[in-house]
A and B are shown apart, each in its own frame.
Chain A
């Protein structure tokens, strides 16, 4: 079967129309010396066998671990309606809406997604999505280089190390200079940033909350950066924007982030969702697809892909980015999620997460030998200094059914005893208390 519907008769009739005797004749340009030297693959299986095999593999992954690992990727609850709606195959088996008249469902959904991202970030325009938070940050940095014509980029080391690594990987063959500034008392180091800021600076890259969970108000940095005609790029955690100061309120120029927390499962690292929103004067250098509203010839509202002259299929090597497809289905999940929660729901969710995190901090602070870092306020994630190597602690807690946090020593030198703990709305008071008790028992043993 193999999803090929032809009968032997179909094939014979079709070959007759084409005027060849066999399918092989159609491949005659692939001459013998060009033929595959090997094609050593297993033979096909039935649907049942494939499902059984994959089910077995899925069961080799841990399930039921109580998860306090975040580090930019969070275990949120996903309302059933998100799966049901994004699972409609009229959405997921379509392609990029090049033909607007038969793609209004997609185009309007993406317009609504762009509008929701603008509402969250406070920015003027958003694109139709990028691959993930890291590629969004890289695209933002390149956009700043194009817009300013300058090459120096200041990167706060509170930006997720994964994203910083991606940024440096992508640019190794380009003339872009990066300067990293430290984190002091949990927050962006003003002195160091201001010392580095000068007329050659293209952008300052920040994150809020930063990798350590600390929240900040970057307004002062934005003001100084604008004085040097540099742009400010901020990576944000979208759920936190139900409560925290928006990038626009800090006068950020390009807001980006990982949209996974907006109704997208963790799925071992992807597919995720990169979002990008900018001030309107920057829109023509913004990469990626964009949907705009317009009217049809009867004056009825409709939606189209617009500003396509920036894109690779028209501009080729002069395009603002090489991006072709984006993460439309993940963007759809995000706009469905944000519509379900709405103005009130997102604010409530942010508050619940904040309250639970503060509770967790107070409980962890009571563990003998553990020290919760309190030099700056946090939102959903915080650091604890342990009397032992955090990596070893995490390893022993896994046996007790907890993924208790992310050991910071993996990413930061000299932080071997530090643990980064994330709390979502899924974690209960009881789980938090039980984790603290188990940690205490283990540390005291």
Chain B
């Protein structure tokens, strides 16, 4: 498709600006004014509407395709949540209102949502309190590691290291490094668990925290999780829970009960808010009692009379993580989702997510190499190693699935599994959808043996065929340039 810039016709405009209705003022001195107006597209409203509508149709999405993208929890996003987030009382609320004297009363609805979400997430995860400020999962990780750093600093401890397993999300080591720590990576043993010997040998009083995902990125729940936490606490380190995979365990176990001190949850994964093509998400962070004083400000508190207010009095706070109270519009959708599902609904979601993943695992394990041959939680990880013998790689399988109308699983992650295919069907998919996916995966396994070239030429049905990513990185073209 042409770019919106390439449809530009000088003098055309897609929006009517109401006249100021006041006398034109003298312009500021020339040195403050730009030489030429910015080269934005000059198009009509119809042009804009048609352009972006047509672009939308070039995407796979949850609403149009099965989307078993591992680790991303691409479940159905309920429409009522969108309706709620669009209510004017919420969209028009200026975030500074409750910070003005007499302004708190103008934002009671929003403050109540934040307060109630803090309580709900605390109960779901077993933590003492949550901050809603972090704006995404990785942002929550950074917040969590900063809280840990503040805690150790306050206690006069000089700790340099954060431990992560080699199966972790890339954001874990990146967040730890950005918060000022050196990263120690622990390998995974032959059963898919963090190697305990290695772990014990690296765990010293210089370790600030251990960051874990549980179930981990292999879809496996580590039954030794409590022991891991106890060992960390034994040397004064804190336990960080990456909540990316919380969708597997709601109502079954809680990070707080397992001994985790800091938890982030991805509202856009577990709590059904849309992924938005890569954000906005939200990554609230929960802490145990001993970290409460370090939480970012402001905090929403409830007065005796049942009204809500912002509290800025935390002495040991790490400060502001976001400009205000988090991605409120996203928090609101997740709040509506939790109210709708309730206790049994959340349990049912986790149980079904695990059922669906195991169904895929059981149905495909004869055709694809299991990374670790045991029941999984909410996602299962295969290796395309058998197919690779015929020259068919995980990437080829992904592209063939696209031709069949299915968004590919996550591929080449976790990094420790060769040719990884990470499948997370989620609980909102029916047996028929899973069966159709399984049939295509079996067909691919067969074709890999009989006609591998057919897989390797995919995709053929998409607006573009395989793209030259090397050229993209070498001959950078990141911005449209006017030919004039």
Contact = CB atoms under 8 A, between A and B. Distances in A.
A20 B24 CA distance: 77
B97 A69 contact: yes
Contacts of B302: none
A118 B339 contact: no
Contacts of A26: 354-355, 358, 375, 377
B89 A50 contact: no
Interface in A64-121: 65, 67, 69, 71-73, 75, 79, 81, 83-85, 87-106, 108-109, 111-112, 114-116, 118-120
26 contacts: A26-B377, A35-B257, A41-B124, A54-B87, A60-B89, A81-B48, A90-B61, A90-B64, A96-B275, A102-B402, A104-B59, A104-B463, A118-B479, A126-B479, A170-B142, A170-B146, A242-B37, A269-B325, A304-B472, A317-B177, A326-B279, A327-B276, A329-B280, A342-B14, A346-B38, A407-B100
Given A118-B479, A269-B95, A39 B251 contact: yes
Given A112-B4, A269-B322, A343 B20 contact: no
Interface in B3-46: 3-5, 8, 11-15, 17-29, 31-35, 37-43, 45
A114 B221 contact: no
Interface in A15-46: 15, 17-20, 23, 25-31, 33-46
A124 interface: yes
Contact of A321 (B174, B221, B328, B346): B174
B170 interface: yes
Contacts of B251: 36, 39
Given A90-B57, A163-B323, A267-B93, A245 B34 contact: yes
Interface residues of A, number: 210
B136 A296 contact: no
Interface stretch (A130-138, A148-156, A190-198, A227-235): A130-138
Contact of A293 (B99, B106, B472): B472
B124 A297 contact: no
B135 interface: yes
A317 B326 contact: no
Interface string B86-102: 11111111111101111
Given A50-B340, A92-B277, A101-B402, A336 B223 contact: no
A425 B283 CA distance: 34
A129 B74 CA distance: 22
A165 B340 CA distance: 37
B39 A322 contact: no
B99 A410 contact: yes
A265 B42 contact: no
A37 B254 contact: yes
* Across the A-B interface, the 9 shortest Cβ-Cβ residue pairs: A269-B324, A44-B342, A58-B89, A169-B319, A271-B280, A329-B276, A358-B25, A269-B95, A62-B106
B339 A42 contact: yes
B178 interface: yes
Nearest to B62: A93
A146 B431 CA distance: 51
Contact of B431 (A10, A244, A271, A352): A10
Nearest to B81: A50
A266 B94 contact: yes
Interface residues of B, number: 212
A271 B327 contact: yes
B278 A39 contact: no
A4 B352 contact: yes
Interface string B337-378: 011111111111101101110110111000000000001010
Contacts of A170: 142, 146, 321
A415 interface: no
Nearest to B3: A112
A340 B78 contact: no
B180 A120 contact: no
Given A2-B341, A267-B90, A291-B478, A243 B20 contact: no
Contacts of B87: 54-55, 58
B4 to A, nearest CB: 5
A394 interface: yes
Nearest to B433: A5
B264 interface: no
B467 A302 contact: yes
Interface stretch (A199-207, A306-314, A366-374, A437-445): A306-314
Given A99-B398, A112-B5, 19 more contacts: A4-B349, A23-B351, A57-B113, A58-B88, A58-B109, A69-B97, A91-B56, A98-B410, A131-B135, A215-B32, A265-B329, A268-B325, A271-B330, A283-B476, A346-B38, A348-B17, A356-B20, A356-B21, A398-B102
A67 to B, nearest CB: 6
A296 B467 contact: yes
A303 B296 CA distance: 39
Contact of A35 (B84, B107, B252, B339): B252
Contacts of B336: 50, 54
